A = this chain, B = another copy of it.
């Protein structure tokens, strides 16, 4: 075989890309290391030159995905040109797209289970990364006299996980999803943040 050497960073990225693509479509278990290397025409050994194990690429893929989403969400939260209301709207919308694959693909039960675990794992990680910026936002609102929050970090954590749960929880167990409008959400949050709903909907 003719050999093609590449800049290690590119190569590693290439492997990561292939792995991500496959994990997201077929799932972790159904993706073999040889599937990954075949897709980019390199030998099996090369995979292990760049990654210690299949688990390790998986972790890298999860981190990349989590970073992508949390960066998007953080950008929305910090965008002062947006009202509070539309930030909520956009954030919830973005959250809906975490692992959309899991819904679009026909999967046997066994895979559903695996995707679910991955999904929740990701949701938790993203949630964690988003808490800081949310806490900042709450602190700002408090300074401006627009919210009464005792402990912004705590409230932010609670809020983030609460919303993530609403968005990602199983449809049957959680509230009716159709009820999850921005208005309903704001009504509930107004209590938590100590603002009247009217005010909250207009900042």
Contacts and interface: CB of A to CB of B under 8 A. Distances in A.
Number of copies: 2
What is the predominant secondary structure among interface residues of chain A facing chain B?
helix
Contacts of A120: 117, 120-121, 123-124
A173 to B, nearest CB: 3
A46 to B, nearest CB: 21
A131 interface: yes
A60 B128 CA distance: 29
Contact of A165 (B160, B180, B193, B194): B160
Interface residues of A, number: 54
A188 B150 contact: yes
Given A188-B150, A192-B192, A157 B128 contact: no
Nearest to A195: B191
Contact of A188 (B151, B161, B170, B175): B151
Contacts of A153: 175-176
Contacts of A188: 150-151, 154-155, 158, 192
Interface string A124-155: 11011101100000000000000010110111
B162 A165 contact: yes
A166 B161 contact: yes
A164 B123 CA distance: 13
Contacts of A110: 53, 55-56
A40 interface: no
